[in-house]
Structure formats: C-alpha cells, structure tokens
Structure 1
Amino acid sequence: MTQQNPDPEQRIGPRPLERPAVDPSSAAAFGRPAGVDGAFSPHAAARPPLGGLPSAPPTPDALASAFGRTPADTGVRLQRPPGAGGGDAGDEGHLWSEDADPWRDPAAGAVIGPPAVPKDDDEPAAGSTRGTGALLSLPDVLFGRRVKPVALALLGVVALVIGAAGGLVGWVVARSGDALTSDVTLAQVEPGVQRPVGSVSDIATRVRPAVVSIEVRMEQGGGTGSGVFIDGSGYILTNWHVVTLEGRATPESTITTVFTDGTRAEAKVVGTDAKTDLAVIKVAVTNPTVLQFGDSDKLQVGDPVIAVGSPLGLSDTVTQGIVSALHRPVVAGGENGEAPITYDAIQTDAAINQGNSGGPLVDATGALIGINSAIRSSTGNTGSIGLGFAIPGNDAKRIAETIIRDGQVKHADIGANVKSVSADTAEGAQVVNVADGGAAAAAGIAEGDVIRKVGDRQVRNAAELTVAVREHRPGDTVPVVLARQGRELTIQVTLRSD
C-alpha cells in the first residue's frame, strides 16, 4: 500500500503534555511571554515550510576544481581512518607512512594546516580569563598594600643572613685553599740596631753636616765637587781643580754651595794653591758645623777611614775603607804650561769618584786627616777601583791657614830640574839642569848629580824630591845627600821660595 506524505498543513501536533498547576508568581517569573506557545517561533504558522528554506547558491566550477574533493569517478569520499587498508601498490611511498599525519587524505584537494602567523607564546590562550595586570612600582612594594612591611623586612633579614653566610664560607675557603699563604706576624728584634760611639754610623752623623756640595757655573759648562767647613766664620776647604774647573773658570763664574739640608748659598774664592790642588772659599752662614783637624802624621797603614762627598752628583754619600799606604807622591796636571800638582798623598781603598774631590777623609774619631783629591783608574774605566788619594790633613791645614791669612801660598824650592832614575849604583832624582841664582846653584849641586835624600826624607824619584823639599819652609837649611861620579856626599842647601 502506498503511503502519501501528508499535507504540511495537516500534520499532527505533539502529544499533549500533562501540565501541573503553576503558581502564578512563578509563572510570571519563568513563563513564556504572552502569545508564545513554543520555544522556536512566536507562531508556528509564521515559519516557512522545510523545503522553502533559502540555501546557498551552487559552488562555482573554478572553486570546486581548486578546493573540492577528487572527481566522483574515483569513489573516494572519506579520508582513510588510522590503520585502515585500501589503495593499491602504487600507494607505497605515498604520504601514508608511519611518520605522516594518519588523518590526511592524499587525494584531498585542500589540506587544513597551521595558521599563517605563529602563535605568540606570551599571548594568553583563547578563552583564558588571565590577563597582564599592572606592574608593582617601588612605592607599592615598599609602602603599598600589595606587600606587607613585615614581609619586606623579613626578606631583607633573610638576604642579609644568606650574604653573611656566603662571605664566611668564602673566607674559610680562601684561608684553607692555598697552603702558601697564611696570616702571620713577623718577628722583630727589640731593641733596634745599636750604634755605639765610634761606629761608622756615629761618625757619619757627626761629619755629614759639615760637608757641602760645590757647584761651579760658567758661560759654557760647569762642574761639581765637595768641600768641608774648617772654621766657624764660613771658610770651606776644597780642591783647586773644583773651584777653578782645572783653570778654566773665569771671574764671571759663579760658585754655589749646597748643604745637606738643601740650603744653598753663594761662595767667594778666598785663595788657591794650584801646586798642591787646594783652595779656600767662604760663605755667609751662621754657626756652621765645623770639622777639627787630626794629626795625619800619626796615621798607620790599615787604620779605618771614611770619605764623605758628592760622587757623580750624589750628595751626602759616605764610603768606608782603610789607609792603604802613606807618603805616596802623586803628580797630576801640568797641562797648558802650568806647574804640575804634586803632593805627598794618603792612599785609601775607600770608594772615591768624580765629585768626591774636595771632600773630607776622616779617621775613626771623626777628625779631618785628608782632603780627597784624585784616583787611579784602569784603561777605559774612570770610576773607583780602590785606589784613591787624599792630601794629608797636616799639609792641608798649613796651606789653608796661609791662604786665609795671606791669600796665597809660597813653597820652598831647590832650584833644579830633575828626572827619576833607577840604577844599580844610584836611585833617586837626577839633576837635569840647575837654575841660575837658585838654591842648588848656590850649594854647588851640578848637572848629573843624583839626589837621594833631603833632610830625613828618602828620595826615590822626581816627585818625591818635590814633596820632600816642600816639607820645609823657604829659608830653611837642610842636608841633601847626593851621588856624584860613584861617590856619595852630603851638602847643606838653603831653600828658597818658588
């Protein structure tokens, strides 16, 4: 029997429901509005029939070809489920592999992929109610209601405790980590170094204030040396070659003395003695430290001595040594037609260098027993090699007194030119010529005679004859022993002034 679709207008309505009575107040609050019988339409008659609903227009062929499924003749309508078989041998190596997406249909015209713009990790998830709140400011943290002051103080205490604990651990590790370091207190000798009276330190302390550095300046060049106070009036004893720059200084040259405390004072030349390399200058000072002269004739080889001066510009330098030899004749200079410097020197191994000239040589009591004047150096070496020479203090004292009193010095002279000789029959100073009207001519000394002794002084060379004669004064009559034609004879010679 054929069933016909009923007319839409003749459809049977739903079975009536048994509706209990509803309280009027509840019905007013939860009931449908007036005139509404169902949940879908205000009035059932107003809805169009099911077939009359509007639908979308058909898809254009171009879009269907580009985005639609495979043609209808393939018979593929659904994507293969995971693990489902199907397909032919040609499907091997297709996208249906273990690593591929099992729900993707290789034959599909379009594939749903990830969004074109990657999702920002910081962006809140869809549907999430959590958002970015306002950041806490410093006042909010310290004084606001978001952080309690008690909690903040407790946090500070915890941080302080952690920092102190870390520092303590680091200190312990540092102390125990290196076996080469430790906290030690070095021992010190008590009392300090003893400096008894007569020690080098004691002598240097007393002598150094009496020693000065001497600076000589001229238009072209200059030089430095040393000097020593010998009188409270400001007289300073030094070398002739220091204040005259070995005869090159002019009246316009300036002489400046520098004391151990750095005080500077201009000096004037009182007088000089080029033949013994001595000079006296004077400065205007009040109550200077003065050295007293010792007796240089009582020195013995091996006695300790101390030299003070300004070697190579190093002021206030102290060196120590001994007396290496006595009565060592030293000859220097004599260039430019000037008389050579000759003196009976004290030899010492105390370090003496350029700039020490004019400084004092003192004995173990601090007494002045010499004026440092020259050194002997090896070839290519201008420094000290332990051979220094000083003018004896007794000779320096006598000459300084004469300069201060008279402004110049006169020496005894024998009136003969000599040369050093050494032979089996005679050793001494051989007369080369005799000056007319001199002491040698008056006493009968002839050319060729060999002078071997003057007074009590043995003469072994020409320099020793000069110092032996200068030990006496002009006008003194002294016995002279000489060798003439193999015979030794003694004659009396009255010395004259140079």
Structure 2
Amino acid sequence: MLMVMNQNIDPSQATPPVEQSPTGVDRVGPRPLERPAVDPTAAAAFGRPAGVAGAFSPAAAGRAAFGELPSAPPTPEALVSAFGRPRGETAVLQRPPGSRAPDGEQEDALWSPEPDPWRDPAAGAVIGPPAVDEPEAEKKAEVTGAGTQLSLTDVLFGRRVKPLALGVLGLVALVIGAAGGLVGWFLARGGDSLTSDVTLATVEPAKERPAGSVADIAQRVRPAVVSIEVKIQQGGGTGSGVMIDAAGYIVTNWHVVTLEGRADQSAKITTVFTDGRRVDAKLVGTDAKTDLAVIKVDVPDATVLQFGNSDELQVGDSVLAIGSPLGLTDTVTQGIVSALHRPVVAGGDNGEAPITYDAIQTDAAVNQGNSGGPLVDSTGALVGINSAIRSSAGNTGSVGLGFAIPSNDAKRIAEAIIRDGQVKHADLGANVKSVSAETAEGAQVVNVTDNGAAAKAGIVEGDVIRKVGDRLVRNAAELTVAVRQHQPGQSVPVVLARQGRELTIQVTLGSD
C-alpha cells in the first residue's frame, strides 16, 4: 500500500516552466532571477554617485559625462630656451655606436666597459654631494639661529626643564662626586705601593698565642731565670740559675758557682735578670756529690718558678730548656724527655767523690752556659736542673744528649742546704764496680767499710748487688743512685748474688 506524505513546496524552488523552441522541441526556461535587498548603508558607501547611471569608465559612460581629460600644461619658455633644441635643429646630442662624425672620422663610443655613471647610460644612478658648497655665511647663520640658550633662572626654576629631571641630574652629580672621593681616598692610602715596584708578600693577621703554647710558657718562665757570672783571681765563668723562693734563693749547679771546685771565699757572684738588672749574690751552700748549689740575692717582687713532680714525667713529654748557653742570655730551646732514670757520673778528680745523680735525658739543645738553668714541662713547672751534656770526641757542643737533675731531688737538696747549710746522703758503706756476666749483672762489692751499713748487714767482698728496694741495679752508678733515693737510717731490702745463689738482706743505711 503506498502512502503519500504531503509537504509544502517553496515556489522559488518549483520546477521552471517548460517553453517550446521554434523547432518544436520543449526546453526548460531560465530560472527566475532573485536579487537580495540592498542595505541602505552599504548603498550609500559603495553606490554610484548621484546622477551617474552607468559605469565609471569614460568609454562606457561617455566623454560627455566626465568632460575632456586635462592635458599637461605647456612648457615654460625659459625651460624651452635653456634645454630645448635650437630652432630648426634636428640633431641629437648622442650618436649611436659606429656612426661617423661630420668630418668622416670614427669616434669612440661615449660609453665604455668601465662603470662611469657619466658616460654609460646603463649605469646606475649615484647620489653624491652637491657640486657647489653652501657659503660659510649661510652656514653660520643657520647654526646660530638653531635655537636659544637657557638662562640660569630657566634651569634652576624649571621653566624649560622639568623639576624631576633637575633632581635626577643633581642625584647623578652627587653619586659621581662620592665615587670620585672614594677613589681618591683609596689612591691616597695606597700611594706608597703605587710608587714602588716591589711585590709585598701577603701576611696573616696577628695570631693568638693560646695558653700552654711554647711562647706562652717561655713568657711566664723567663723572668725567673738568671744568668750567673763568677769571677775569681784566676779567671771566671758563666752559667744559669732559677729563682725558687720569694726570699731571693736561687738554685744552680755546684760546678757553676765554684768553677768546678776552684772558687774560694773571695769569688764574686753576680746575677743578671732578663730585664737587665745586675744584682750581687752570696753563696748559701753546695752539694758537690749531686752538683747542686744555692745562692741568694736581695730583689723585690721576684718571679719564682714552681716545682713540678719529676716522678710523673714520661718519655716523650715536651720540655723547654732556658738559660745562657755560650753567653747568650735568655735563650729558650725545646725538646722532649728522651729517657728517664739515666745515671750520670762526672768529676771525681783529685781524690774527690764523683758527681752522681739520676738524670732526666732530653734532646733539647743544651750547651755550656745552660748549666744550672731550668728544664720545665708543658705547664711551665720546674722538672729539672740542666747539668751536663754528652758529646763526641773533640766536640763540646750539643748533640741532642743533655742531662738534668730531677726536680724532686733538687728540691730536697736545696731545702736541706737552706735549712742546714749542708746535705747528708744515705750510704751503704761499700766500694763497688760494675760487672756483667751470664750469671749476674750489677755492682760487685770490692770492699766494705768497717762498721759500715754493708758490713753490719753481712755483705762481703765479691757479692753482686742487683737490687736496692724497688730499683734495679745494673752497674755501680745505679747502686749509688738507688741508695741515695733513701734517707740515712732507713732500712731497705738488698738483693744480691753470692756464689750462684740469690740472697735478700735487710740493710739499715748509714750517712756519708
């Protein structure tokens, strides 16, 4: 079943009417022309002018609509006479190439391969300066009349300059002046370097010297160290000393104040302090067996060096030696403790008892003249009295082997000298010699003193003493040192070897 749906048909889209041609053939006629409505605004802007019905072209509109086109005005008579051809002349100024001159001679062409803009008509135009300069008078007049100059009131009050621009100008001038002043100041300060052709090495600011440094210790200790001068009729000598008491007591070496036993009561002793003061001293007492002596001076506000505990020293501890080596006063040298409990034996000439003490060995530079001076630790405390050096044959200078009397021994002996004027040492009452064998090593008894401590304890000739108290004995010097560590009348155990057997005998020490 077919269904027909009705729809509205636009008349403009209807099928064009059918026309019949003269030949009798039906054909479709033209479609109806539809023109949209013209907007009045667009027509006013783009429409034909009033009174014009056709196109703008004169051919279409006709000359009558626009009139005759205007032609160029006639050439002025002056230009015609200046640039035109003479009347009746038909010749041109330029002849083509190859043409003959009136006289029949061939002329070169007015143009050439070189780019001459005045001869080659194909050359490009060149713009150059005017052929004739302007007169100087006209130039000056033109420059002079370019503008007027501003007066001071115009600039200051801003009639022709803006106030903001004037302020900026002042600020710029101020900044430039300040910069110039700074540059001048730096140049003035560095004037010396600018006028010198040397190069200065850079240096660091002064460094702080912390407490405990070598400089700090030396500064605190040096005022308590003196240089000692001894003069006798036969000569004299120098050494060092250290102030140990505010009453003016100075401890030094026996060999310094007695010139190794040659001094007498007429000897003059002078002390020289680090500040240059020279003060006479008197001898209080000496101990030849330990190479110690005490002198006394009368000075106010003396700097005193404190005693340290020499038993607490260890090998490797830092120490300073201060004194007057080779006459060079107020000299400080630095080193370490090289060894402890090093027995030192010196002197013993002319029948006198040898000097023997239990020394502190140090590598601090010690020379002749350091004798009697202090050896101090890293706290500035007195731990030793410099006394001797050991050097090779023919060399009397320092080779890094210096010896000092321990401060504990020096304090005990100095107190005894000040208190009693003399020193008493413990004595075993036996003469010994050093021995070293596979069976025994120590101090062998050569003989014993009648009614001495050794004889009373039963020690006989030939016994080898190997230990006194807690101190090992490996030679004769160590036996003397070990015995003097005790007080007279003190009972100590003595270990000895006798006929291949080891014995321990209790000995009550005597006094020398």
TM (normalized to structure 2)? 0.61
1:411 and 2:422 are equivalent in the alignment: no
Query: Structure 2 residue aligned with 1:382, among 363, 375, 396?
Result: 396
> Which residue does the alignment assign to 1:282?
296
- CA deviations over 1:212-266 (Å, ceiling 9, x no partner): 0000000111000000000000000000000000100011110000011111011
1:451 aligns with 2:474: no
Per-residue CA deviations over 1:102-130 (Å, capped at 9, x if unaligned) read xxxxxxxxxxxxxxxxxxxxxxxxxxxxx
User: Aligned pair 1:260/2:274, yes or no?
Assistant: yes
Structure 1 residue 189: Cα displacement: 3.2
Counterpart in 2 of 1:351?
Answer: 365
Matches within 5 A, 1:149-168: none
Q: Distance in 2 between matches of 1:287 and 1:192?
A: 31
Give, in whole Å, the separation in 1 of the partners of 2:198 and 2:453: 81
Please give the secondary structure, in 2, of the residue aligned with 1:425. Answer: coil
CA deviation after TM superposition for structure 1 residue 193, in Å: 2.8
1:430 to 430, 436, 444: 444
The answer to whether 1:205 aligns with 2:193 is no
Percent of aligned pairs with the same residue? 83
CA–CA distance in structure 2, aligned partners of residues 299 and 273 of structure 1: 25
Among 292, 296, 315, the residue aligned to 2:310: 296
Residue 354 of structure 2, aligned match among 340, 349, 364: 340
Distance 2:310 2:482 in 1: 16
Residue by residue, what CA displacement relative to the aligned partner does 1:74-110 show, whole Å, maximum 9, x if unpaired? xxxxxxxxxxxxxxxxxxxxxxxxxxxxxxxxxxxxx
In 2, the alpha carbon distance for the partners of 1:439 and 1:495 equals 6
Matched residue type, 2:456: A
Matched, 1:271 2:289: no
Could you tell me which amino acid in structure 2 is paired with residue 186 of structure 1?
Answer: L
Match of 1:480 among 476, 494, 507: 494
Distance 2:478 2:204 in 1: 55
Counterpart for residue 8 of structure 2? none
**Equivalent residue, structure 1, for 2:97:** none
Cα deviation for residue 185 of structure 1 reads 5.9
CA distance in 2, matches of 1:367, 1:237: 15
Mapped to 1, the partners of 2:285 and 2:342 lie a distance apart of 26
After TM superposition, give the deviation of residue 182 of structure 1 in Å. Answer: 5.7
Q: Secondary structure at the match of 2:344?
A: strand
Deviation of 1:195 after TM superposition, in Å, equals 1.2
Could you tell me how far 1:188 is from its partner in structure 2? Answer: 4.0
Please list the CA deviations of residues 267-323 of structure 1 after superposition, one character each: whole Å capped at 9, or x if unmatched: 001110000000000001111000000000000000000000000100000000000
Instruction: Supply the distance in 2 between the matched residues of 1:220 and 1:184 (Cα, whole angstroms).
Output: 57
Deviations 1:9-53 (A, max 9, x none): xxxxxxxxxxxxxxxxxxxxxxxxxxxxxxxxxxxxxxxxxxxxx
Q: Which residue of 2 is the match for residue 363 of structure 1?
A: 377
Give the C-alpha shift of residue 190 in structure 1. 4.1
1:194 deviates by: 2.6
Question: What per-residue deviation string (whole Å, max 9, x for no partner) do you get for residues 381-427 of structure 1?
Answer: 00000000000000001101111100100000000000000000000
User: Structure 1, residues 132-175: CA drift from partner, whole Å, max 9, x if none?
Assistant: xxxxxxxxxxxxxxxxxxxxxxxxxxxxxxxxxxxxxxxxxxxx
RMSD over aligned Cα atoms: 1.1
The match for 1:25 is none
What letter corresponds to residue 436 of structure 1 in structure 2?
D
* Aligned twin of 2:205: 191
What's 2:31 paired with? none
Matched with 2:409 is: 395
Equivalence for 1:6: none
Q: CA deviation at 1:184?
A: 5.0
Q: What SS does structure 2 have at the residue aligned with 1:440? A: helix
The secondary structure found in structure 2 opposite 1:489 is strand
Pairing 1:241–2:255 present? yes
What is aligned with 2:474? 460
Matched letter for residue 440 of structure 1: A
Query: Aligned partners of 2:198, 2:239: CA distance in 1, in Å?
Result: 48
Q: What secondary structure is seen at the aligned counterpart in 1 of 2:416?
A: helix
Structure 1 unpaired stretches of 5+ = 1-180
Match of 2:343?
A: 329
CA distance in 2, matches of 1:387, 1:419: 25
> Which residue of structure 2 lines up, in the alignment, with residue 440 of structure 1?
454
- Give me the whole-angstrom Cα distance separating, in 1, the residues matched to 2:344 and 2:207: 40
C-alpha separation in 2, matches of 1:222 and 1:193 = 43
- Partners of 2:457 and 2:257 lie apart in 1 by 39
Provide the rounded CA distance (Å) in 2 between the counterparts of 1:184 and 1:451. 74
Partner-residue secondary structure (3-state), 1:401: helix
Please report how far the alpha carbon of residue 191 of structure 1 lies from its aligned counterpart in structure 2 after TM superposition.
2.2
Structure 2 CA distance for aligned equivalents of residues 478 and 465 of structure 1? 13
Q: State the number of aligned residues.
A: 318
With normalisation by structure 1, the TM-score equals: 0.63
